[in-house]
Amino acid sequence: MRRLALAAAVLGLALAAPAAASEERPTPAELESELVCPVCESTLDTSNAPVAQRMKVVIRQRIAEGATKSEIKAEFVEQFGPRVLATPPRSGFDLLAWVLPVAGGAVGVAAVVGLSIAWSRRRGGAGDGDGRAEPEEEPLDADLERRLDAELARFE
């Protein structure tokens, strides 16, 4: 158990270090993929609109001045509003954009599991403990039984 906790802590620290470095020293490409052009509503890395070109220049200038990723994003949000962010903030009403897909997926999985359990119980026979008796077999017609025995004898 201790080894598992230690491995989880090491993995967490290993993943946190690059994230912290990204916050302090962002790359233009990183910010351009996280910001949206207010004119064409596509990310800056795919937009060639004049506004997007000016935003890319500002990003490079602010990075050269030593601004952090959060500071640069905050400046664009102040200027253009929260719709300039490619992903919605994880707070307030925008939290629904993060919670609803997960909740919908969980409800879908629960529905599939519930329906599959109900379906398997309905299809079960006498051996599954549901209390239903097995249907009785009807006896074969004497002529049909003779033909069947003759056919089976050919394969022996």
Mean pLDDT, range 126-137, rounded to an integer: 59
46 lies in the same domain as 100:
no
In a domain, 124, yes or no: no
Average pLDDT of the chain, as a whole number: 81
**How confident is the model at residue 88, as a pLDDT?**
74
Specify the pTM.
0.51
**How confident is the model at residue 124, as a pLDDT?**
65
Say if residues 33 and 44 touch (Cβ distance below 8 Å): yes
Q: Per residue in 60-75, is it b (16+ CB within 10 Å) or e — as a string?
A: eebbeeebebeebbee
Specify the length of the chain in residues.
156
Residue 85, strand partner residues: 35
Mean pLDDT, range 97-101, rounded to an integer: 83
- Under DSSP, the state recorded for 88 is -
Tokens 């997960």 -> residue: 102
78 lies in the same domain as 105:
no
69 lies in the same domain as 113:
no
In a domain, 140, yes or no: no
82 lies in the same domain as 53:
yes
Mind listing the pLDDT tens digit for each residue in 48-76?
A: 999 999 999 999 999 999 999 999 999 99
62 lies in the same domain as 99:
no
Residue 35, strand partner residues: 85
Which structural domain range is residue 46 located in?
A: 25-87
Q: Using alpha carbons, select from 27, 44, 28, 26 the residue that is nearest to residue 80.
A: 44
The secondary structure of 105-123 as a DSSP string is: HHHHHHHHHHHHHHHHHHH
- Under DSSP, the state recorded for 50 is H
In a domain, 145, yes or no: no
Q: Which residues lie closer than 8 Å to 16 by C-beta, 6 or more apart?
A: none
Q: Using alpha carbons, select from 90, 69, 94, 80 the residue that is nearest to residue 36.
A: 80
Say if residues 43 and 51 touch (Cβ distance below 8 Å): no
83 lies in the same domain as 110:
no
32 lies in the same domain as 80:
yes
Say if residues 33 and 45 touch (Cβ distance below 8 Å): yes
55 lies in the same domain as 93:
no
In a domain, 17, yes or no: no
CATH of the domain at 75: 1.10.8.640
56 lies in the same domain as 80:
yes
65 lies in the same domain as 108:
no
Q: Does residue 1 carry a pLDDT above 90?
A: no
In a domain, 18, yes or no: no
98 lies in the same domain as 82:
no
Count the domains in the chain: 2
43 lies in the same domain as 58:
yes
